[in-house]
Each structure stands twice: as structure tokens, then as C-alpha cells.
């Protein structure tokens, strides 16, 4: 096994990419190196929270895969087209993404990932019905994967078919693999489904179960905080806000949601001075978020900072105008 | 158990209270919400006007009024009727609005009443003594020209719409009486819903099913302000008041002096748009003019900064701090709102903190009425729910229902807990909740109008079961410094260390005009209460000591002029 392959299989994508770039400088037409470099870029991108960096990684991946296809148009690998579809999806080249996703499915109709990418491509091309067909096909191919179940749910929710979403989950939940990760994702899906049907207590039960199964999953922490807020248990909500903020793996958006929720709780405890910095910080990430802005307006007014409150109100009005068609 | 309950509720935390504890749930699990449901006792079937076209206006009607038309001491009931567009092939003959005479036996049609039967596509109405002749007249909002009906005191009405300067052809929804310019008569604030054109109508689809379109598909229409000249002749001052700058989708309006500067302000609940807080500048400027301040005040939007589907409104002082909170019913997935009034023009949405929010998320709220259901002196809230999309069951694959339950948000020191007052009865799609003491026994009954269905009576038996002392007030102005109906007067009741404040208004809820009398329950050991009235002109009445068991008529400048004992409650 080459050092490039070794680094890749060890999950050290940074080293793999470094080696691959050096190898390509010597032999820019080596197909295997192009493939490994492209794959390394995509894997690296998964861990990037910065949007600009993420796009950059996909742009680089695209150059490797496109070169590979130019050099070997008859490669016949579904995975290459899947990667190209993924790059185009990230770069918002909708039509190209769809073309590659279709080819990926043609080359390997049994690939759930190819079907999923086809679904995402249809979604980006404004065809929700075809997207749903593809997502369902992906899920049918791998019914044990709760990720594919979640993709179907996402699409149904985008189509506002909330009742159908819950029915679909209930129908297929028995086939989901029993490991904690898949079961946690299943309960996350149930949480989202019940929430969409306004059954906040059922939704709350589901997210607690999801968290019990994967206590280290960071996306659940801020959602737990919000869920406790929703059912009126503000002590626990605040506690989960604190845990979210303390967790090193919390993504910036989830962190901001926790700051906002904690800020709201403090507001209702008349602790406006403590609420203010949390809300201001949340707003830097949740740009244009109405809930945060309204909470901040109320807080500033009660702190006697009326002019600042007016400024935030104007900011809110502008953000609403911007969103209006 | 009762002693514990009293101890529990002796401190009212109102809007900011924490949700009910387990103990509170146990305590509240008592039969303290005494309503008897009477179905089919009012011979009226609502016709929404729906004939399969699914025009939006069909989905939101209709309301009514409880008022004493002929001065016989019993509340009569006016119910507004919808109508199909006359060019619809299967429109049929439009049914008129109905006036039922209140009697000891119930509501009956009465040959002596006449002239009330408007056949417009009706929405709401307001009763009031517009011409100040001592009886109650009617203003009716229609999807089409509104009507003004003048009463001769015996329930014989004359349509004097045009003669008295009313020209309101737009889609009228809510109407409320208010003395905006403090000149001692009743002005009218008319909410308009939206601008709908049959010619431009395009059906809305959801998953290949035709559904009623959402209000966002249509432009809004400004509300109207009609100023009374003191004799019941009106001028439209909407433009001068600045209202034309605010296109609305009004379904609910609340009148109260939000900024406590001595004149009456308005809160407008808009369907799918931010709500308005229209602060009346009359006291400061001497001119009829409003400034809109809801966003900065904190009462424009719901929890989550949603532009909610505001429908019904109520105002009640939940935290006993002398000003009223604003309550608004909203669509499913939007909690009913409770904007806590913090004074100085500041509100805070607190529904998730007082237990109002979560139980409301699953339902589409319409009529809302603050009332002391169980006579424990703590305000409770009645809400009637009902969806607007008649085929929502099919659309949602059975997850949502068109007919929905009524709810009572039972107040306690720990916030609200929710019960269904008649859980065993079939659900209907509720609209207006009109309150009044229809049997004069000292407790507040409800008439709930239902979409394309018959109305319900929820007859309170609180007087017979709760055992708390209760007194009633009937306020009468002099017609010069205070309108005859005395709207805008502030009532303060002190008894056993508890002070409650209530603004006297007649319209609230959803398309509803209530019994103008006010009822107050007292703590069980109380033998009397001290009542002070601040009349709309600022005059403070001398404190009056009232005894429970009767309605007390208090006239401006005269004090108590009549005491009418309650009738015997039903066993």
C-alpha cells in the first residue's frame, strides 16, 4: 500500500492530500492519485464549519475529479460521479449536479448514496416530487440506515407533508438498525415529526430518548435546551444551554441557539443585563434571526437603552423587507 | 383541600408564573369549571356561504352579540349570518342575521322584534347606544357594505346606515366601540380583513387538494375610524388619524389605555401579519391621531418572532399590577400569545412561561374570553378552537382536525393548566365566544358560534357550585363626559387585601359583543367590596361599598342608582 493510500485509509486526510498534491506535481495524470486527492478533499470538507473553507475544499476536489473524467471518460465508476455531484451540489451548480447524479445511479442503481445525491440534486433543481422518489429509493436500498430515513423526512417536511412524514417513520422504524447511532437518529426524526405536528410533549420525549442513546452528539444539546424551554422546564433548559456552550464540539449555530435560549430565560427572570451579551453574541451568528432581535429589543428597552433598541428594531424591519418577495 | 387551594392561590403571579407543579395539577383536578353544555337550544344554523369555491372570507365567520334589546332585563342574542356570493349558481336565498329574545326559558324568536335581519355576508357586530337615547343599537360588519341599525328601544330596528354617514363597503371583520376623542359618545373602530377579488381568484392547492388560501395571498386593507357627533351621526376620520398608512388584516381589536395617559389606545390582531399597537395621541395633541408602536413595545409578533395569525383578543390584568395584559389567539404551530404589560409601553411575550403556549400549539384559536370560571378570584381564560381549512383532515392525512375542542386555561398561582370543559361532546369548529349572564344568576355564561353549525351555550353553574360571593356592576355614563355605555371606564375592586383592575369594554374576543355588565367574584370569607370607578373623562367616583348577590347600577355623578338581586342559580 502506498503512503497515500495508507494515510487515506487511516483517516488522515490532511496528510493524504499533502502527499497526493506532491505526487500530482510529478505526475498530474495519475488517475489513482487524482481519485485519492478528490476523496481526501471531500472528507476534509466534512469537518469544516467555515462555509468559505468548505466551498474551497469542494472546488479543489472538483478539479481532481474533472481531470480524472477527462483523462478516462470510460472509467465507469459510480463513485466518481457521486463525488462530482456532491461537489456541484455544494457549489450550487444544480444542473451539473443532476447530470452526474443521474449517471451515478445509472452506473450503480443499487447505491443508496447515488440515489440520495439524485434526490438532493432534484431538490436543488426545484423538483420535490422526483427528489422524494429518489430519497425513498435510497432508503429502500438501505432501510437500516436512519440517515436515509431522515432524508425522506426532510423532503416530506419541505413539502409540508407532516402527517405523511410521521406515518412513514412509524412504518419503517422497525427496520432501522439497533445500534445507538441509528436509533438516536430515528428518535431525532420522531422529535422533528412530532414537533411539526405541534405535539410538543411527544417531541420532547423523543429528543430525550435520542440524547440517551448518543449523549455526545452535539446537535442534540441545543435542541434539548429549546425543547425544555418549549415544555416550560426553564431550569433544565438553562442547564442544557450551559452544557451546549461548554461542549467543545458544538457547532457555531447550535452555540448561538443556546445563547439565545439562555438569554430569553434570563430576560424572563428580569436579569436583562446578563441577557444582553448573550443575545448580542447569538445575533452575530444568527444573522437576521427575529427571535433574537425581538429579545434584544425588549432587553435594551428595559435597560434604558432606547436608541439601541430602536436601531435593532430598524435592523429587524430591514431583514423582514429583505426576506419579502 | 379547599384551604390548601386558597393558600395556593392567595398570591397571584399571573403572566410570569412558572408552569403548574405536580401539586398544582392535583389541586386543579377538581370540578371547578362548572359549565353545562346546551346544544341545539338556539334555533340557528350558521351558513358560511361556502359553496365549494373556497373563497377565504367564507372560512372566518361569524360572530354575534349579547345585549338587552328591549330593556326587559334579559340578555337577547344577535347572531350574524354568512352568505354565498349571489352569482354562485347554488347560492340559494341568503339567510338573514337573527335576533333571539332572551327569556327565563331560553332564546326564542319574537314577533315584536323587527328590522334586524341584514342578509349581507356577515362577520361581526357591536352593540352600543350610538344615538344616546338609552337603548342599544347595532353596527354589523360584512364582507361588503356594513350596516348601522338603530333601535327604538323595543327591538324594532331601522337601517340608517347611509343616513348616519356610514359608508364602509370593504371586507369588514371586527368592530369595536370606543370613545377615541373623549367627548362622551361611542365612536367606532372597524377592522378590515383583506382585499379579495372574485375575478382574480386562483385556487390554492396542497398536495393536489384544493384548500382555502392563506391571507398572505391577498393585500391588506386599512382599518376605519368613525367618529360620532354625539347624536349617532358618523364621520370617517381614518385618513386624518393616520390609519391609511397601515394596511391590516384585522380580525381582533382590543381597546384599552395601554400607556395609561388617559385616552384609549387600540391593539389590532392581524391575520398572518405583525399586530399593531395604535397609541392614541388625543390626550397629548388634542387631535385624533395614532402612532404605531408594536415592534418596539414588544407586542407585534409571537414567540419565535412569527407573524402570527392573530384572531381573537382579550385584555386582562393577570398579575394585578393595575394594567392589562394582551391575549391573542393564533393558528396551529403558533402559541396563543400573552403579552405581559410591563407599563411604560413595554410588553413581554410570556406564554411559554405561564403555561398558555404549549397546550395551544395544536389548535387554531378563535374566540378568547378572560373570565373567572371557577369564582376563585383568579382570571381564567376560555378559548374556542376550530380550523379554517375545511378539508384539513384529508390534507394532513388525519393528523389535524377541522373541528377542535374548546379549552379553559385555569389560572392559579403557578400559571395556567388546561382542561376541556365538555370533553365528552362532539367537537365543532368554534369562532366567536360571546359572554354574558344570560340567566341573571351572577355567573358568566358563554355563547360559542360555530362554523357552518349551530351555536352552543355553555351555561355556567358556578353560582350554584363554587359558593363564592359575587357582585355585578352596570356602568352608565351621562352621555356628555362619558358615553352612556361607559366604555373606557376603569373599575378597581378591593376586597380582603386583593385589588383588581378591569377596563370596561364591551367588544373583545373574536367578532363578539358581550354583556356590558361586569361580574366580580370575591374570596369566600368576603362580605363586601370597595369599588372605585375612574370614568373616561378622568373623574374618580367616590369609593362605593357593594355587597355580593346583586347587580349594582352605577351612574356617572350619581353613584349606585339601582340594585338588582341575582336570580336563583340552577341547582
Q: Using CA atoms of A239, A241, A244, A246 in order, give the dihedral in degrees to the nearest 10.
A: -70
User: Measured between alpha carbons, how far is B474 from B519 in angstroms, rounded to an integer?
Assistant: 9
Domain edge (last residue) among A211, A228, A249? A211
User: Measured between alpha carbons, how far is B128 from B134 in angstroms, rounded to an integer?
Assistant: 10
The pLDDT of residue B3 is 34
What is the mean pLDDT of the segment spanning A264-278? 96
In a domain, residue A25? The reply is no
What are the grid coordinates assigned to A42, written together? 471531500
Domains: count for chain A: 2
Contact between residue A220 and residue A257 where contact means Cβ atoms under 8 Å apart: no
Q: Which residue has the higher pLDDT, B550 or B466?
A: B550
User: Which residue bears the cell 483517516?
Assistant: A11
Does the pLDDT of residue B464 top 50, yes or no?
Answer: yes
Q: Report yes or no: B355 at the A interface, CB cutoff 8 Å.
A: yes
Contact between residue B450 and residue B432 where contact means Cβ atoms under 8 Å apart: no
The pLDDT of residue A216 is 86
Say which of A166, A198, A294 has its CB closest to residue B333: A198
Calculate the average pLDDT of chain B. 91
The pLDDT of residue B398 is 85
In a domain, residue A276? The reply is yes
The pLDDT of residue B33 is 57
Least confident of B82-86, B250-254, B270-274, B530-534: B82-86
Q: How many CB atoms within 10 Å of residue B160? A: 18
Identify the bridge partners of residue B76 per DSSP, sorted by sequence position.
B67
User: Which residue bears the cell 422533528?
Assistant: A192
What are the angstrom distances between the C-alpha of B21 and each of A201, A231, A283, B445, B462?
16, 13, 34, 29, 25
The pLDDT of residue B109 is 95
- The end-to-end CA distance of chain B, in Å, is 23
In a domain, residue A86? The reply is no
* Radius of gyration (C-alpha) of chain A in whole angstroms: 23
Together in a domain, A244 and A309: yes
Residue B380 phi/psi, 5-degree rounding, is: -115, 170
Helix (H) or strand (E) holding B385: strand B380-385
The pLDDT of residue A325 is 56
Query: By CB neighbour count within 10 A (0-12 exposed, 13-18 middle, 19+ buried), where does B204 fall?
Result: middle
Distance of CA A247 to the CA centre of its chain: 18
Say which of B206, B353, B355 has its CB closest to residue A268: B353
Nearest to A172 by CA among A197, A154, A146: A146
Identify the bridge partners of residue B280 per DSSP, sorted by sequence position.
B290
The pLDDT of residue B345 is 87
Domain edge (last residue) among A211, A228, A250? A211
pLDDT in tens, B59-68: 999 999 999 9
In a domain, residue A156? The reply is no
In a domain, residue A197? The reply is yes
Together in a domain, A226 and A322: yes
Does the pLDDT of residue A294 top 80, yes or no?
Answer: yes
Query: Which bin fits B210, alpha (ψ -120 to 50), beta or left (φ > 0)?
Result: beta
User: Which residue bears the cell 451579551?
Assistant: A277
| pLDDT band for position B571 (cuts 50, 70, 90) | low
Q: Report yes or no: B335 at the A interface, CB cutoff 8 Å.
A: no
A198 vs B361: CB contact, 8 Å cut-off? yes
Size (chain A), residues: 325
- The end-to-end CA distance of chain A, in Å, is 56
Neighbour order of strands in the sheet with B380-385: B365-371, B380-385, B407-412, B415-419
The pLDDT of residue B207 is 77
Does the pLDDT of residue B52 top 60, yes or no?
Answer: yes
User: Measured between alpha carbons, how far is B141 from B124 in angstroms, rounded to an integer?
Assistant: 5
B298 vs A294: CB contact, 8 Å cut-off? yes
Residues of chain B in contact with residue A291, where contact means CB-CB under 8 angstroms, are: 303-305
pLDDT in tens, B310-366: 999 999 999 999 999 999 999 998 999 999 999 888 999 999 999 999 899 999 999
User: Which residue bears the cell 380583513?
Assistant: B193
Cis peptide before A243 (omega within 30 of 0): no
In a domain, residue A6? The reply is no
pLDDT in tens, B198-252: 889 999 998 789 999 999 999 999 999 999 999 999 999 999 999 999 999 999 9
What is the mean pLDDT of the segment spanning B463-478? 91
Does the pLDDT of residue B5 top 60, yes or no?
Answer: no
Together in a domain, A238 and A179: no
A198 vs B304: CB contact, 8 Å cut-off? no
DSSP string covering A108-129: -TT-HHHHHHHHHHHHHTT-HH
Calculate the average pLDDT of chain A. 93
The pLDDT of residue B86 is 83
User: Measured between alpha carbons, how far is B98 from B112 in angstroms, rounded to an integer?
Assistant: 13
Q: Provide the CATH number for the domain around residue A242.
A: 1.25.40.10
In a domain, residue A228? The reply is yes
The pLDDT of residue B4 is 34
Together in a domain, A237 and A204: no
Testing the interface with A: which of B300, B308, B353, B391 to mutate, by most A Cβ within 10 A?
Answer: B353
**Closest chain B residue to A167, measured at CA:** B397
The pLDDT of residue B294 is 95
A197 vs B398: CB contact, 8 Å cut-off? no
Counting Cα atoms < 13 Å in the Cβ hemisphere of B554 gives: 28
Share of chain A above pLDDT 90, in %: 83
Cis peptide before B62 (omega within 30 of 0): yes
| pLDDT band for position B414 (cuts 50, 70, 90) | confident
Does the pLDDT of residue A1 top 80, yes or no?
Answer: no
Q: Which residue has the higher pLDDT, B31 or B562?
A: B562
Does the pLDDT of residue B28 top 80, yes or no?
Answer: no
User: Measured between alpha carbons, how far is A313 from B298 in angstroms, rounded to an integer?
Assistant: 10
pLDDT in tens, A217-267: 888 999 999 999 988 899 999 999 999 999 988 889 999 999 999 999 999
Crossing angle for the helix pair A162-172 and A180-196, to the nearest 10 degrees: 150
User: How many H helices and E strands in chain A?
Assistant: 18, 0
Together in a domain, A310 and A261: yes
What is the mean pLDDT of the segment spanning A195-220? 92
Residue A200 phi/psi, 5-degree rounding, is: -65, -30
Query: What pTM does this model have?
Result: 0.88
Which residues lie closer than 8 Å to B63 by C-beta, 6 or more apart? Answer: B80, B123, B124, B125, B431, B432, B434, B449, B510, B511, B512, B513
Does the pLDDT of residue B30 top 60, yes or no?
Answer: no
Does the pLDDT of residue B558 top 50, yes or no?
Answer: yes
Which residues lie closer than 8 Å to A2 by C-beta, 6 or more apart? Answer: none
pLDDT in tens, B171-181: 999 999 999 99
In a domain, residue A71? The reply is no
The pLDDT of residue A285 is 94
The pLDDT of residue A324 is 66
A230 vs B358: CB contact, 8 Å cut-off? yes
> Which of helix, strand or coil describes residue B520?
strand
Contact between residue A303 and residue A272 where contact means Cβ atoms under 8 Å apart: yes
What is the mean pLDDT of the segment spanning B457-474? 91
- Please give the residue range of the domain that contains residue A200: 162-211
B298 vs A163: CB contact, 8 Å cut-off? no
Q: Using CA atoms of B141, B145, B149, B155 in order, give the dihedral in degrees to the nearest 10.
A: -70
Domain edge (last residue) among A154, A177, A211? A211
pLDDT in tens, A74-108: 888 999 999 999 999 999 999 999 999 999 999 99
Amino acid at each position: 500500500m502506498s503512503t497515500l493510500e495508507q494515510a487515506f485509509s487511516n483517516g488522515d486526510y490532511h496528510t493524504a492530500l499533502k502527499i497526493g498534491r506532491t505526487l500530482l506535481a510529478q505526475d498530474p495524470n495519475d488517475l489513482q492519485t487524482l481519485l485519492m486527492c478528490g476523496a481526501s478533499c471531500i472528507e476534509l470538507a466534512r469537518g469544516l464549519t467555515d462555509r468559505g473553507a468548505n466551498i474551497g475544499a469542494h472546488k479543489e476536489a472538483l478539479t481532481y475529479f474533472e481531470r480524472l473524467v477527462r483523462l478516462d471518460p470510460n472509467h465507469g465508476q459510480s463513485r466518481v460521479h457521486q463525488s462530482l455531484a456532491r461537489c456541484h451540489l455544494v457549489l450550487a451548480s444544480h444542473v451539473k449536479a443532476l447530470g452526474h447524479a443521474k449517471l451515478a445511479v445509472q452506473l450503480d442503481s443499487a447505491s443508496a448514496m447515488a440515489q440520495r445525491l439524485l434526490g438532493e440534486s432534484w431538490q436543488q433543481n426545484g423538483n420535490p416530487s422526483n427528489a422524494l422518489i429518489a430519497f425513498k429509493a435510497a432508503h429502500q436500498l438501505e432501510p437500516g440506515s436512519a440517515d436515509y430515513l431522515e432524508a425522506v423526512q426532510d423532503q416530506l417536511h419541505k413539502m409540508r407533508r407532516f402527517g405523511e412524514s410521521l406515518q412513514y417513520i412509524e412504518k419503517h422504524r422497525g427496520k432501522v438498525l439497533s445500534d445507538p447511532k441509528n436509533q438516536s437518529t430515528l428518535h431525532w426524526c420522531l422529535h422533528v415529526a412530532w414537533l411539526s405536528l405541534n405535539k410538543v410533549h411527544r417531541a420532547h420525549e423523543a429528543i430525550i430518548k435520542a440524547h440517551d442513546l448518543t449523549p455526545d452528539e452535539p446537535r442534540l444539546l441545543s435542541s434539548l435546551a429549546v425543547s425544555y424551554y418549549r415544555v416550560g422546564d426553564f431550569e433544565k433548559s438553562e442547564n442544557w444551554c450551559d452544557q451546549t456552550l461548554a461542549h467543545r464540539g458544538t457547532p457555531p449555530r447550535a452555540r448561538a441557539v443556546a445563547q439565545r435560549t439562555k438569554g430569553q430565560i434570563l430576560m424572563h427572570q428580569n436579569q436583562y443585563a446578563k441577557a444582553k451579551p448573550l443575545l448580542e453574541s447569538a445575533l452575530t451568528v444568527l444573522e437576521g434571526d427575529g427571535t433574537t432581535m425581538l429579545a434584544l429589543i425588549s432587553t435594551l428597552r428595559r435597560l434604558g437603552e432606547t436608541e439601541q433598541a430602536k436601531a435593532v428594531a430598524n435592523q429587524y424591519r430591514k431583514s423582514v423587507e429583505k426576506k419579502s418577495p | 383541600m379547599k384551604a390548601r387551594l386558597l393558600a395556593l392561590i392567595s398570591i397571584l403571579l399571573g403572566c410570569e408564573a412558572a408552569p403548574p407543579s405536580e401539586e398544582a395539577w392535583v389541586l386543579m383536578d377538581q370540578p371547578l369549571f362548572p359549565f353545562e353544555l346546551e346544544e341545539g337550544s338556539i334555533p340557528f344554523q350558521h351558513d358560511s356561504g361556502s359553496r365549494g369555491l373556497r373563497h377565504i372570507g367564507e372560512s372566518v365567520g361569524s360572530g354575534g352579540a349579547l345585549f338587552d334589546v328591549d330593556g326587559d332585563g334579559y340578555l337577547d342574542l344577535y347572531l350574524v349570518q354568512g352568505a354565498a356570493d349571489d352569482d354562485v349558481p347554488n347560492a340559494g336565498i341568503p339567510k338573514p342575521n337573527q335576533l333571539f329574545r332572551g327569556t327565563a326559558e331560553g332564546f326564542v324568536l319574537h314577533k315584536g322584534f323587527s328590522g334586524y335581519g341584514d342578509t349581507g355576508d356577515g362577520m361581526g357586530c357591536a352593540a352600543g347606544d350610538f344615538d344616546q337615547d338609552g337603548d342599544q343599537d347595532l353596527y354589523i360588519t360584512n364582507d361588503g357594505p356594513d350596516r348601522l341599525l338603530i333601535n327604538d328601544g323595543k327591538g324594532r330596528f331601522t337601517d340608517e346606515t347611509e343616513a348616519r354617514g356610514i359608508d364602509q363597503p370593504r371586507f369588514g371583520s371586527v368592530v369595536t366601540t370606543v370613545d377615541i376623542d373623549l367627548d362622551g359618545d361611542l365612536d367606532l373602530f372597524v377592522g378590515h380583513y383583506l382585499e379579495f377579488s372574485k375575478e382574480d381568484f386562483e385556487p390554492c392547492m396542497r398536495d393536489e387538494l384544493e384548500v382555502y388560501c392563506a391571507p398572505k395571498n391577498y393585500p391588506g386593507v386599512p382599518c376605519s375610524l368613525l367618529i360620532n357627533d354625539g347624536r349617532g351621526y358618523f364621520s370617517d376620520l381614518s385618513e386624518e388619524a393616520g390609519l391609511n398608512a397601515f394596511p391590516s388584516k384585522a380580525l381582533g381589536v382590543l381597546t384599552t389605555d395601554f400607556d395609561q395617559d388617559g385616552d384609549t389606545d387600540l391593539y389590532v390582531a392581524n391575520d398572518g401579519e405583525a399586530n399593531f399597537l395604535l397609541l392614541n395621541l388625543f390626550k397629548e395633541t388634542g387631535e385624533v391621531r395614532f402612532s404605531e408602536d408594536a415592534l418596539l413595545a414588544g407586542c407585534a409578533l409571537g414567540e419565535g418572532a412569527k407573524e402570527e395569525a392573530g384572531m381573537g383578543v382579550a385584555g386582562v390584568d393577570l398579575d394585578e399590577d393595575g394594567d392589562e395584559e394582551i391575549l391573542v389567539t393564533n393558528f396551529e404551530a403558533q402559541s396563543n400569545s400573552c403579552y405581559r404589560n410591563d407599563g411604560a409601553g413595554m410588553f413581554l411575550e410570556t406564554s411559554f412561561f405561564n403555561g398558555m403556549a404549549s397546550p395551544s400549539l395544536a389548535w387554531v384559536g378563535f374566540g378568547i374570553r378572560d373570565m373567572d370560571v371557577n369564582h376563585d378570584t383568579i382570571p381564567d381564560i376560555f378559548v374556542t378552537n376550530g380550523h379554517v381549512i375545511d378539508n384539513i383532515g384529508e390534507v394532513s392525512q388525519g393528523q389535524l382536525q377541522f373541528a377542535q375542542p374548546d379549552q379553559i386555561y385555569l389560572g392559579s398561582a403557578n400559571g395556567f393548566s388546561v382542561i376541556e370543559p365538555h370533553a365528552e361532546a362532539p367537537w365543532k369548529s368554534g369562532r366567536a365566544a360571546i359572554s354574558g349572564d344570560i340567566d341573571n344568576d351572577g355567573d358568566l355564561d358563554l355563547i360559542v358560534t360555530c362554523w357552518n353549525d349551530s351555536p352552543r351555550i355553555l351555561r355556567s353553574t358556578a353560582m350554584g357550585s363554587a359558593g363564592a360571593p359575587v357582585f355585578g356592576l352596570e356602568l352608565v355614563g351621562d352621555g356628555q363626559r362619558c358615553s352612556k355605555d361607559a366604555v373606557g371606564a376603569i373599575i378597581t375592586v378591593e376586597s380582603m387585601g386583593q385589588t383588581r383592575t378591569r377596563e370596561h369594554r364591551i367588544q373583545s374576543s373574536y367578532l363578539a359583543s358581550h354583556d356590558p355588565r361586569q361580574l366580580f367574584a370575591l374570596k369566600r370569607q368576603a362580605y363586601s367590596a370597595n369599588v372605585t370607578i375612574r370614568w373616561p373623562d378622568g373623574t374618580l367616583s367616590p369609593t362605593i361599598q357593594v355587597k355580593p348577590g346583586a347587580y349594582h347600577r352605577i351612574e356617572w355623578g350619581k353613584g349606585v342608582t339601582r340594585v338588582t338581586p341575582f336570580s336563583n342559580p340552577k341547582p
